[in-house]
Structure 1
Amino acid sequence: MKIEFAPLNIPLRRRLETAAVLQWLFSFLALAQFLLAAFVLLMLSHWWTVALLYAGWLWLDWDTPCSGGRRSQWVRSWRVWDYFRDYFPLTLIKTVNLDSKKNYIFGFHPHGVLVAGGFGNFCTEATGFSRQFPGLKSHLLMLPFWFRVPFFRDYIMCGGLVSSSKSSLSYLISRPEGGNVAVVAVGGAPEALDARPGALTLQILNRKGFIKLALKHGAQLVPVFSFGENELFDQMQNPSGSPLRRLQNRLQTIMGVALPLFHARGVFQYSFGLIPYRKPINTVVGKPIAVVQTPGPSSGDIDSLHRVYLQSLTELFEEHKQNYGLRPEEHLTFI
Structure 2
Amino acid sequence: MAIRFAPLRIPLRRRLQTAAVLQWVFSFLALAQCCLALFLLALLTELWGLTLLYVLWLYLDRETPSRGGRRSPWVRRWGVWCHFRDYFPITLVRTAPLEPSRNYLFGFHPHGVLVAGAFANFCTEATGFGELFPGLTPHLLMLPFWFRLPLFRDYIMSGGLVSSDKASVSYLLSREGGGQVAVIAVGGPPESLDARPGALSLQVLGRKGFIKAALQHGAALVPVFSFGENELFEQVPNPPGSLVRVVQERLQKTMGLALPLFHARGVFQYSFGLLPYRSPIHTVVGAPIDVPRNPFPSQQDIDRLHAVYLEKLIALFEAHKGRYGVPPDRHLNLI
- The two structures have a TM-score, normalised by structure 2, of 1.00
Residue 58 of structure 1 corresponds to which residue in structure 2? 58
Aligned to 2:264: 264
Distance 2:25 2:234 in 1: 15
Count of matched residue pairs: 335
- 1:14-36 residue CA offsets vs partner (Å, 9 max, x unmatched): 00000000000000000000000
Unmatched 5+ stretches in structure 2: none
Deviations 1:65-85 (A, max 9, x none): 000000110000000000000
SS in 2 for 1:284: strand
Q: Partner amino acid for 1:6?
A: A
1:1-335 counterparts in 2 under 5 A? 1-335=1-335
Within 2, Cα distance between the matches of 1:126 and 1:176? Answer: 28
Matches of 2:238 and 2:51, distance apart in 1: 42
| Paired residue type of 1:94 | R
Q: CA deviation at 1:152?
A: 0.3
Q: Distance in 1 between matches of 2:43 and 2:109?
A: 41
**Equivalent AA in structure 2 for residue 100 of structure 1:** P
CA distance in 1, matches of 2:328, 2:194: 22
SS of the equivalent of 1:10 reads coil
Q: CA RMSD in A?
A: 0.4
Deviations 1:257-313 (A, max 9, x none): 000000000000000000000000000000000000001000000000000000000
The residue identity in structure 2 corresponding to 1:190 is P
Take 1:26 and 1:201, find their aligned partners in 2: how far apart are those partners? 27
Identity of aligned residues (%): 69
CA distance in 2, matches of 1:118, 1:300: 31
- For structure 1, list consecutive stretches of 5 or more residues without a partner in the other structure: none
Cα drift, residue 44 of structure 1 = 1.4
Which of structure 1's runs of 4+ aligned residues deviate more than 3 A?
none
Q: Residue type matched to 1:212 in 2?
A: K
Take 1:303 and 1:143, find their aligned partners in 2: how far apart are those partners? 25
SS in 2 for 1:23: helix
- 1:46 is displaced (CA, Å) by 1.4
Q: Deviations over 1:165-215 (max 9, x none)?
A: 011011001101100000000000110000000000000000000000100
Q: Which amino acid aligns with 1:267?
A: V
SS in 1 for 2:114: coil
